[in-house]
Amino acid sequence: QVRVVESGGGLVQPGGSLRLSCAASGRIFSQYNMDWYRQAPGSEREWVATINAISRTNYAESVKGRFTIFKDIRKNTMYLQMNTLKPEDTAVYYCKVRWRSDEWWGQGTQVTVSS
């Protein structure tokens, strides 16, 4: 079982920045593939970004150029740096950890972009 804990959400004005963190337990953190998803009220959960075990990254078109996903293996933590935030980025952001056929989700962290 892998414990996944997100943090870093909050209220930010349009155009501002936030950095989300996703801490994952386990000695094989370097082998995990990890994703960020988000879910706005009344909407389906949507994929935002992925970083795989060899640090290859991929982004949804809606966040490309504004968000950056990266990880620190020494801290067993993955991050999502979010810049130039827009009101439509408002959602609960979830981290998903994948290893072989297993996957684990965190509890989510709320991001609200509003003036």
Which tens digit of pLDDT belongs to each residue from 4-40? 999 999 999 999 999 999 999 988 888 999 999 999 9
Maximum Cα–Cα distance for the chain, whole Å? 42
Tell me the per-residue pLDDT of 39-68, one tens digit each, with 9 for 90 and over.
Answer: 999 999 999 999 999 999 999 999 999 999
pLDDT for residue 28: 87
Tell me the per-residue pLDDT of 62-106, one tens digit each, with 9 for 90 and over.
Answer: 999 999 999 999 999 999 999 999 999 999 999 999 999 999 999
pLDDT for residue 1: 86
Q: What secondary structure does DSSP assign to 21-58, as a single string? A: EEEE-STTGGG-EEEEEEE-TTS--EEEEEE-TT--EE
